Structure 1
Amino acid sequence: MDELTAEVLAAAARGDWDALKPLLHPYLHWSDGEAKLRGRTKVLAHLAAHPVGPPAEVELRDGQVYRWIGRPAE
């Protein structure tokens, strides 16, 4: 897991939205379980109500997470 992804997970786990926001690209594509979202604002609102685990895949752009694909449910 890259350092940026680890920072995203840590900030989300502690609910530090101010630290999390600059780590996420404004046009973020987020897919985790049944949630399929576009845009940083929608993802931040989703994360405030739903825990997130390590992703299956992450795409970085401009030093931010641009695409997040969660692991399939086991």
Structure 2
Amino acid sequence: MDPIIAEVLDAAARDDRAALVQLLHPYLHWTSGGRTIRGRNKVFAHLEELTEPDSYELRDGQIYRWSSLR
């Protein structure tokens, strides 16, 4: 597992929003189970379902795209 993914999963498990703000790009594209949410703040409401992504993209050292089929 990529270290940044491990950091995101750990921060989400601890509900550490300050850490997540540093790890997730403000214009994040989050796709899970075929549904896409755009924007870091909108994604925060869905973090309880967090699993390792099938693919992801980094931009400026932050997660920009997170895609999970589950």
* TM-score, normalised relative to structure 2: 0.89
1:5-24 equivalences under 5 Å are: 5-24=5-24
Question: Alignment length, in residue pairs?
Answer: 70
CA RMSD, Structure 1 to Structure 2 (Å): 1.3
- Identity, % of aligned pairs? 57
- Distance, in Å, in 1 between the alignment partners of 2:16 and 2:64 is 19
Matches within 5 A, 1:21-32: 21-32=21-32
Give the aligned partner of residue 65 of structure 1: 63
Deviations 1:13-67 (A, max 9, x none): 11111111110001000001254100011011222xx220100001000000000
CA distance in 2, matches of 1:15, 1:35: 22
Give the letter for the 1:16 counterpart: D
- Which ranges of structure 2 fall in alignment gaps of 5 or more residues? none
**Which letter does structure 2 place at the counterpart of 1:65?**
I
**2: distance between equivalents of 1:41 and 1:52?**
15
Query: Aligned partners of 1:67, 1:31: CA distance in 2, in Å?
Result: 8
Q: Which blocks of at least 5 consecutive residues in structure 1 are unaligned?
A: none
